[in-house]
Chains A and B, each alone.
Chain A
């Protein structure tokens, strides 16, 4: 696209990153082996180091970090010190940096950083503008900040020439993340943060989430390659964002349909083969894999067997370790279902049919289901105080679905020869 107004004839690049979450621990993953522990522990810091290297290698004019770079003192001091060291490296190379704080971030979070290097601006509170110049000529103006009832009003395109970049942390679906509203502010590029998955919302003007540089769990947004966006301005044209992966640890979820798999050995062999393919595709990184087994078939009964999943997971991990590759199977999730048709079971008029009918009644009556769950889950809630065991309606419905399937499996003696 062609940027608005008078733009420098100079060509330059800048890097857009967001949601560094430096040293925030991984979530919802199991224990990793000792040989991979350090890589997983330091993954977010290594990804940030890679971001700095990227900016220097591409001779970027500036770097923007769109919020959630650091999650507070609970994540320790390393993150603050590592961030400052990286910013010093950037400044030493003449690269400016702008950190836009999210609405829930405060400058006081950076307790271990008494001052930022020259050339680094931290934008929080109201929206402010930061000019970026080279050889006395305005390359770009960065607008960023947070707070206020309507922060977007603070983003105003100035008469100054050059590229105008809005830096904002606004989670997708939030009140600020509205493409039309963003586009109306006259920016040439919106460097957004708040989504851990990379996505481009608009090409005119460019509005993009860079995503996090390092995934930290097996939620959908955390999976696959993670990194930063490199933007190139060539004369009057802003080129499409270029994604550059920076993650050192990559998380992948492998779904396997067991419907046509004859036995556990074949299932294991298939998963090992897919892990090898993933390793080749994502070479050079530590891979954390989670398998989700789906479908119906005779293997469902095999998987119901006590410790069947544990044995399978142990075999997968053993295979990866024997190969000496930085691959770790985190877990195997069993989402398989019995081959029996629930509709047919429901027609039988027997106890199973009665159970299916009850399950349907509960699914249609959340209050009744909630009451049953509250009574049943009381011992666990006593053991795990707080809101850790709070379940919303959807989670409760999913539990009911799994519980119904388990009850049917047990009553239908799927695992008895």
Chain B
């Protein structure tokens, strides 16, 4: 037992023992769809201005239905701050997209500038999301340094090219260690103890699967190519452009399969790394995480979700989101040595919403 007979908790209990609390998710697809579609309509009608409020509302719903020991999580971001961030990012994006028509060097220059700024945005995004996530009234924090962000999100990735991608698993380890090792709940700092070898196994598995499929697809493509009759005239340019129909019909399914496969493998890797992140994170003396998520199952859910979204031109997105969360959230648990209530607040200030807005707008995922 971890309490005195009177009910007060024992002062020291190793984190490996203790009460297990499963997370739960009570969101429903129907409810979320209603929220999603109304907010989408308002966003389009207001030419995008309402999107900041819509985004916050959606997150509040999903966080609010995620519970741990009877208390839900909260997302407390200020929509106005996010709106300002959106506007700035939209303007920059439009300028960037148009620059390619005017001047090649400007376009390249902007790409380089963006790569340099990217770690700053990622760092801001981590801080912003953490500060605006609350549980039992306490904020989360992210204590990672900006220098660390540059090393993790720019420095090491640059080394991927000379190493021909072999450093990817090690980079995955470093990024998780940076993100989770610098996280805090209230005043309780987290540490990350993950084994650097685990990401290697994850990536090797993914590589193996993709190679197997790649061989299969290559055989199919050769078969189709030899069998197809290709029209002789290449292009009559400004006046007519009629690609042979048969070629189109053959290429499209292969292309879609390729997309499904790469999406599935990406989901597998991300799910396996999520397990790795959770299992390696601990608040010393207080709690640790467990995860029973099956990465292959989550990958399958992701791919079938994409299929549903594609077939419904995106309308199935809320259903897909809820389906994914209903699977993975209950499989995550917290093992607490002491009462979860025994945490005190840390120090925190309001953070700029720019990083959060940028990652929203361009769909950049710094994710778990």
- Do A and B pair up? The answer is no
Taking Cβ atoms with an 8 Å cutoff, the residues of A that contact B are none
Taking Cβ atoms with an 8 Å cutoff, the residues of B that contact A are none
